[in-house]
Amino acid sequence: MPDLTGKRALVLGGSRGIGAAIVRRLVSDGASTTFTYSSSPDAADVLANETGATPLRADSGDREAVAEVIKHQEPLDILVINAGVAIFGNPPDVEPSAIDRLIDINVRGPYHAAVQAGQRMNDNGRIIVIGSVNGDRMPFAGGAAYALSKSAVQGLVRGLARDLGDRGITVNNVQPGPVDTDMNPADGPMKDLMHAGMAIKRHGSPEEIAGMVAYLAGPEAAFVTGAQHTIDGGFGA
């Protein structure tokens, strides 16, 4: 297990699912951890009481709100950008305002948060974005906007890794496949379609994703940057 004792971590979108598992793992590895939430105050309170992590309410699509959170976390060592939304449907039928909101949270939010954190982060810090295997592969209709947003994350980490590399700050993208959360339960209606195309025919767990994040946040990953880390049970193989 990585030793993150003395490190200061911020998880954007950390009250439920993958985000909550990441908060638990960072705390267990020794990091002083703050997480944001937007629409799940009860879940945030439960997680804070369980872990001792600090909850802060902030809309991840609001650049100024996120900037204020980052500013008050100085000096920051680890930033995990987990907040994201998914919209699926026939593109002409999806409300343009819903797509704009998806872009605000999934693309503009990670970009501005990563840039702002990079300016204030300690040297040798870690920026980790939670993307999706759908940035590489969209195997069914109706996912154009979501795939667009997750492909954009790939470009962000490649470019920002070079911008921050001279300070030893690494920037990486974790790309989960199907993971058992409220948004995509392991017993949900899409499970058979998803599992049919996988080498390991099951949903992943949030804790498995958190394990990948913990490695990238730790000292052994100091030479890993600008990369896409797919953890999907062979969904994209």
pLDDT, position 231: 97
Highest mean pLDDT of the ranges 68-77, 156-165, 187-196: 156-165
Q: How confident is the model over 28-38, as pLDDT tens digits?
A: 999 999 999 99
The rounded percent of the chain whose pLDDT value lies above 70 is: 100
For 186, how many CA atoms within 13 A lie in the half-sphere containing its CB? 9
pLDDT, position 139: 84
**Chain-centroid distance, C-alpha 79:** 9
**Please, what sign has the CA dihedral across residues 128, 83, 211, 29?**
positive
Band (pLDDT 50/70/90 cuts) for residue 194 is confident
pLDDT, position 193: 85
199 CB neighbour count, 10 Å cutoff: 10
Q: Distance between CA 166 and CA 164 in Å, rounded?
A: 6
User: Which range among 84-88, 101-105, 120-124, 130-134 shows the weakest confidence by mean pLDDT?
Assistant: 84-88
Cα angle vertex 27, ends 178, 212, to 5°?
Answer: 35
Which CATH code of 3.40.50.11540, 3.30.1490.20, 3.40.50.720, 3.40.980.10 fits the domain covering 8-230?
Answer: 3.40.50.720
Q: How confident is the model over 122-173, as pLDDT tens digits?
A: 999 999 999 999 999 888 899 999 999 999 999 999 999 999 999 999 999 9
Q: Distance between CA 130 and CA 192 in Å, rounded?
A: 24
- 37, 111, 146, 215: the catalytic one is 146
Contacts of 237 (CB under 8 A, 6+ apart): 199
* Mean per-residue pLDDT of the chain: 94
Domain residue ranges of the chain, discontinuous segments joined by +: 8-230
Cα angle vertex 135, ends 94, 9, to 5°?
Answer: 105
Q: Are 20 and 206 in contact (CB under 8 A)?
A: yes
Q: Is the peptide bond before 75 cis (omega within 30 degrees of 0)?
A: yes
For 112, how many CA atoms within 13 A lie in the half-sphere containing its CB? 19
Please name the helix (run of DSSP H) or strand (run of DSSP E) that holds residue 78, with its range, or none.
Answer: strand 76-81
Higher-pLDDT residue of 192, 9: 9
pLDDT, position 122: 95
Q: Is the pLDDT of residue 2 over 80?
A: no
Q: Distance between CA 67 and CA 202 in Å, rounded?
A: 38
**What is the pLDDT averaged over residues 64-78?**
93
pLDDT, position 140: 85
pLDDT, position 236: 84
**What is the pLDDT averaged over residues 32-51?**
95
Beta bridge partner(s), residue 56: 36
Q: Distance between CA 20 and CA 28 in Å, rounded?
A: 12
Q: Is the pLDDT of residue 74 over 90?
A: no
Structure tokens at 8: 């200061």
**What is the pLDDT averaged over residues 187-194?**
86
Specify whether 111 is catalytic: no
Taking the alpha carbons at both ends of the chain, their separation in whole angstroms is 28
